[in-house]
Amino acid sequence: MIDEKPIYWIGSSYKDLLKFPDGVKKMAGYQLHRVQSGLEPDNYKHMKTIGSGVKEIRLTDSDGNYRIIYIANFGEKIYVLHSFNKKSQKTSQQDIKIAKKRFMVIKRGGNL
């Protein structure tokens, strides 16, 4: 049996994920469980603009596009930096700024 990495939700990332439609929350749970088990999500993108090792889980349903930005290579933990409803083709600068700020806090060993 593989030990699952625990998930640490940074800032409002968990509260924001709870606002996703039920079907998207279910998909998010499945994808995060894959990450906890040491696998890659089914649909993801590297987010080098935020930091080394940061990835974005990409979720889509009839209600729109949703994203979960996380990092899983800081020891034996997964840090979810940001969860949001993506409303345009390109990730907004505000969403990138939020994730970058939270990543820098984690990198320095702090908590939000």
Quick check: 83 and 66 in contact, CB under 8 A? yes
Q: Which residue(s) pair with 83 in the sheet?
A: 68
**Model's pTM, two decimal places?**
0.92
Which pLDDT value is given to residue 112? 53
Using the 8-state DSSP alphabet, how is residue 5 labeled? P
Name the CATH topology of 7-107: YaeB-like fold (3.30.2310)
What are 44-100's pLDDT values in tens digits? 999 999 999 999 999 999 989 999 999 988 778 999 999 999 988 888 999 999 999
Quick check: 99 and 47 in contact, CB under 8 A? yes
Distance between CA atoms of 37 and 104, rounded to whole angstroms? 25
